[in-house]
Structure 1
Amino acid sequence: MLKDHAKLMYAIEATGEITGRKKLQKIIYIAKKLSFPFQERFQFHFYGPYSEELTLRVEELSNLGFVEEIREKKGGYFQYRYSLTDSGKEFLSLNEVEMPCLPDCLLDMNEQNARFLELVSTVLYFENLSREEVAEKVFTLKSKQKYTLEEISDAYSYIESLKEKAKSLV
């Protein structure tokens, strides 16, 4: 049980801080699709792939004092920031996690905005379909986001760059 918690803590530590619940969900989903050993199950939801298990795991880590969840009011909504506490860092130092190329991929993803990561994760969710079918899904399921064909193409390029980064560092 705690191995999966440690993997999540390792991911948060590798980024320094993740801003946004949606962004955290997308980063872990994309990392899982890149074959990093995250065990959370994801389903397609309003903002793309979503894991209730991941939400509960983050809540548990916060309750244990290993992850700090800072809630900030931003206009008409709340935004959450996640970082490891000193207790979390100590726990992680005692529970070694081996994912050597993960930090570079995570840092790269953390530099992207949540909207783009939502698109990337949606493209990955439907990766068994043709590019045309994926675009159709994106335009239908994500119509409010108003993604363009160019953005979808950028998502495919980004996925390939992440795969290269993950492969080259293994």
Structure 2
Amino acid sequence: MLKDHAKLMKAILVSGEITGRKKLQKMIYIAKKIEFPFHERFQFHFYGPYSEELTTRVEELCNMGFLNEVKEKKGGYFQYRYTLTETGKEFLSLNEVEMPYLTDCLTDMNGQNARFLELVSTVLYFDNLAKEEVANKVFTLKSSQRYTEAEIDEAYKYIEILKAKIQ
């Protein structure tokens, strides 16, 4: 029952700390798209791919005492930081999750800013389309972010870098 919870816990553990709900959503989505076994369903939302299941799973892990969520006031908004609790680490040590290369990929993603991960996840969401069509989707759906062609190219390069880490 807690297999998917344990995978999420492992992702947070290897990341050390993830700052921001949006960043957490994007990191898990990108990991799923590059073939890590995350099973949450995602749909396109205001900030790109979003999973209600993932949000619920995070809440459940916090309620079980496995995940620590710290809410901080940042200017005009709140930001959340996620870390695994000692109880969570203990649970994981008894229920080992085997996902080779996850540490490399998530550590790399965690070093990126949420805006860039939003672009990368949006590009991956429309990966069944030609690059030009993806760019048009990005310019239309994410017009407020003012992404450039160069940033879209960078997102494609980054996806290849991540995929190379798991081969």
TM-score (norm 1): 0.98
Aligned residues: 167
The 5-angstrom pairing of residues 25-104 of structure 1 reads: 25-104=25-104
The 5-angstrom pairing of residues 72-151 of structure 1 reads: 72-151=72-151
Between the aligned partners of 1:44 and 1:60, the Cα distance in structure 2 is 23
Between the aligned partners of 2:7 and 2:56, the Cα distance in structure 1 is 14
Offset, 1:123: 0.1
User: Partner amino acid for 1:164?
Assistant: A
SS of residue in 1 equivalent to 2:166: helix
SS of residue in 2 equivalent to 1:132: helix
SS of residue in 2 equivalent to 1:68: strand
SS of residue in 1 equivalent to 2:53: helix
User: Partner amino acid for 1:139?
Assistant: F
User: Partner amino acid for 1:104?
Assistant: D
C-alpha offsets along residues 27-86 of structure 1, whole Å, 9 cap, x if unaligned?
000000011000100000000000000000000000000000000000000000000000
SS of residue in 2 equivalent to 1:37: coil
User: Partner amino acid for 2:59?
Assistant: E
Between the aligned partners of 1:55 and 1:92, the Cα distance in structure 2 is 20
Structure 1: 4+ residue segments shifted above 3 A: none
| Gaps in structure 1 of 5+ consecutive residues | none
C-alpha offsets along residues 84-107 of structure 1, whole Å, 9 cap, x if unaligned?
000000000010100011110000
The residue that corresponds to 2:4 in the other structure is: 4
Between the aligned partners of 2:7 and 2:103, the Cα distance in structure 1 is 12
1:156 corresponds to 2:156: yes
Offset, 1:166: 1.4
User: Partner amino acid for 2:10?
Assistant: Y
Offset, 1:118: 0.1
TM-score (norm 2): 0.99
**RMSD after superposition:** 0.4
Between the aligned partners of 1:89 and 1:102, the Cα distance in structure 2 is 17
SS of residue in 2 equivalent to 1:49: strand
Offset, 1:4: 0.3
